[in-house]
Amino acid sequence: MNVPITVGSRTADLAVPDAVIRWISASELKQEAASKGLIQPQLDEAIRGLSAKGIFKAEPEQVEVLPTLGLYPSAHVLFVGYSEAGGADGLRRSAAAAAKALKRLRAQSVQILPPSISGNGTEGFGTVVAAQALTEGLLLALHDRMPLKKEQGSRYQLKDIHIALDGTAASNEVSAWQSGIERAKLVAGGVCYARDLTNLPGNDLTPERLAFHAEELAREYDLDIEVIDEWSASEQGMGGLLGVGQGSINPPRMIVLEYKGDPDSKEAWGLVGKGITFDTGGISLKKAPGMEEMISDMGGAAAVLGAMKVIAETKPAVNVIAVIPTAENMPSDRALKPGDVIRTMSGYTVEVVNTDAEGRLVLADGLTTAIRRGATRLVDVATLTGAVGVALGTEATGAVTNDTALLLQLLSAAERSGERVWQLPSYPEYKKQLRSDAADLKNSGGRYAGTITGGLFIGHFAEELPWVHLDIAGTAWLEAARGWEPKGATGVMVRTLVELIDHRE
């Protein structure tokens, strides 16, 4: 995200912006004009007139655009409703609402008059967190999917953003804003990278092409990378990955990226992202309507790559091993069949009762790969089950774990980032649904508790290490834009993973 963002005084000698954004609370709006000027007397009167009519109430995320008609240097003023009780997430959402209004105006430059932050909100956030939340909401809401057309257009982007602080702002407050903005730009860049990768069509993003993108990322940020082809995968016994990929002309890959921020430590995060570049369901073929959205079945891989991009930029003192098992799940004369038995990299055998439950097969080998390379804590991210959408809709990512402490750490990171994660139970009784008469376990436990049993299948390969599974099948792709998330790929869980691994007070 290369939008220039500056921080300074409201009285700074700057070029006249196309628009000014003025955050305002409901209580501030109700104050008498004589006691509290908002931006300019006639415009203050106009917005308070709309308030008196019940049109603008300064409710969270409500935006009212007023043309200034020469009464103010900029062409438009945007009044944005906000309540500090909403915390940093409320600020992020209101910034996203403002960004959508800027899009409609096609504004090129904007001056932002941010709300005062007392640090007494529900999250107890301070200036750095406020600056990051506001900037994230703005930048992420400005980013849209770029379609491939004969006459290729350009993505709308602001050319200049100026954060205009009160003239009494101390130098340390300016520094805090700059710190939060810079981190937000890096994090938003990782999210948008994941979105753009996920939005690529399946005939472009094959497993080999996904490995190419990972190699480019590794080269840019000096990360160690290993791309395991189908021959090396066979030598290493990656039966899950090879089994899923054997039906396609595009062979599978196992991608391993390593960031070594603390070489003297034996502790290492293992991030494993499902990279099914297109999922037809295989022999257990999916229904045709909506199948085009299965380009998003590598959303977990995109999230891990996006997080690695940010981690490589922020350089925390931790070690991270990112593993992306990637394959294309296709029906053919070579494809896996229901009833086949495969042997995974760990040695465990699996009866394949449903070839559309393929993600867990490649993730089984992905976890083993991460463990053999030294991972001591595991988080896998996957568009795993349609069942998670039935349970949680598109509002929350489902989580299954074997370690409460690690999950609580992740939930705290998700809350700080504004991404919703909901824990699902992992009672031992659910594992009974995965018992097989033909192998160590089968790859589907049936309709009931499908998200839980799918997660527990993956957890079987965690070798008792702390592990959390994140099912993003309901949150990785949207049919309509909302908040800071666009229609299509959302880049969900990039921010949570970054916050988990590189949390800064």
- Tell me the HSE value of 281 on the side-chain side, using a 13 A CA sphere: 13
246 secondary structure, DSSP code: T
Tokens of 426: 């992992």
279 marked as binding residue: yes
482 secondary structure, DSSP code: B
Helix, strand, coil abundance in the chain, percent, nearest 5? 40, 20, 40
Q: Cα separation of 484 and 486, whole Å?
A: 7
Tokens of 72: 């103010």
Distance of alpha carbon 125 from the chain centroid? 21
356 marked as binding residue: yes
In 3-state terms, what secondary structure has residue 167? Answer: coil
In 3-state terms, what secondary structure has residue 117? Answer: coil
166 marked as binding residue: no
Q: Cα separation of 196 and 96, whole Å?
A: 19
Distance of alpha carbon 75 from the chain centroid? 34
Tokens of 247: 């039906």
Q: Cα separation of 243 and 365, whole Å?
A: 11
333 marked as binding residue: no
By annotation, the residues acting in catalysis are 286, 360
* Strand order across the beta sheet in which 5-9 lies: 5-9, 160-165, 109-113, 19-24, 76-81, 63-67
Label each residue of 200-213 as H, E or C. CCCCCCCHHHHHHH
Tokens of 453: 């049993």
297 marked as binding residue: yes
Distance of alpha carbon 325 from the chain centroid? 19
- DSSP codes of every residue in 56-110: ----TT-EEEEE-TTSSSSSEEEEEE--GGGHHHHHHHHHHHHHHHHHHHT-SEE
Work out whether the CA dihedral 82, 85, 86, 88 comes out positive or negative: positive
Give me the residue label for tokens 């006249």: 16
477 secondary structure, DSSP code: E
* Binding-site residue positions for Mn(2+): 274, 279, 297, 356, 358
* Binding-site residue positions: 274, 279, 297, 356, 358
